[in-house]
Amino acid sequence: MIRQGQLLTEEKWQAIVRNDASYDDKFIYAVESTGIFCRPSCKSRAPKREHVRIFDSAEQARAARFRPCKRCKPASGSMPEVEWVEQIAGYIDNHYSEKLMLETLADMCHGSPYHLHRTFKRVKGMTPALYIQQKRIDKASEYLQSTDKAVSEIALCVGMGSTSYFITLFKKITGQTPAEYRAKHNSAVPPGGALS
């Protein structure tokens, strides 16, 4: 059922099924089951008609939370690099505790690993790997200040399986070990309770 954008007429449906490039500048179609939007000429397998939504532009499809197809690149050149990098950074911010590889980020954000790495570094001033590390250390710092979790548990919570690597990285970035950081930032709270 169409809830937004244009109606899926028989003419538009046939353009999608036939991969008709003459309709590429007339509309964009999105597939609800995959969350992807395409040009009518896209060579991807034809979707089920009931899952198709029609939009006037890639911007409308994106505003409805659909992602551009990697194959037909319906938003090619239309997403500014800063916005693209913010999308990637937002994904990292929400998934920092997972195993994140450059290839995973590139696939999720519909770009090549090389282009993603280069563009991210230019826009953010650091590589995606460094951004992920910084995010993990920032979250670890919050845990050290607000919980009494063991350092090994915090390492796991922020996506680092090796406690010794976590301690080494934490000290490299903050200048302190996690234990030193916790002691320094919890020094205002007396043992066993809050300030009265």
176-188 pLDDT tens trace: 999 999 999 875 4
Is there a single domain that holds both residue 61 and residue 88?
A: no
> Tokens 């505003």, residue?
63
CA–CA dist 87, 41 (Å, integer)? 26
CA–CA dist 84, 149 (Å, integer)? 36
Is there a single domain that holds both residue 42 and residue 92?
A: no
Inside any domain, residue 41: yes
- Domain hosting 44: range is 10-68
Inside any domain, residue 45: yes
Is there a single domain that holds both residue 108 and residue 46?
A: no
Assign 4 a pLDDT band (cuts: 50, 70, 90). Answer: low
Is there a single domain that holds both residue 93 and residue 183?
A: yes
Higher pLDDT, 1 or 135: 135
**How many structural domains is the chain composed of?**
2
Q: Are 31 and 52 in contact (CB under 8 A)?
A: yes
Is there a single domain that holds both residue 33 and residue 102?
A: no
Is there a single domain that holds both residue 36 and residue 96?
A: no
CA–CA dist 83, 25 (Å, integer)? 23
- pLDDT reported for residue 192: 47
Catalytic residue among 38, 69, 72, 109: 38
- pLDDT reported for residue 185: 86
Beta-bridge partners for 31: 36, 52
Q: pLDDT per residue over 86-132, tens digit each?
A: 878 988 998 999 999 998 887 666 567 888 899 999 999 999 999 99
Element (H, E) at 136: helix 128-146
CA–CA dist 168, 173 (Å, integer)? 9
Beta strands in the chain (DSSP E): 28-31, 36-38, 52-55, 67-68
Domain's final residue, options 18, 46, 68: 68
Is there a single domain that holds both residue 126 and residue 184?
A: yes
- pLDDT reported for residue 193: 44
Question: Does the reported pTM lie above 0.75?
Answer: no
What is the edge-to-edge ordering of all strands in the sheet holding 67-68? 52-55, 28-31, 36-38, 67-68
Is there a single domain that holds both residue 52 and residue 131?
A: no
Catalytic-residue membership of 72: no
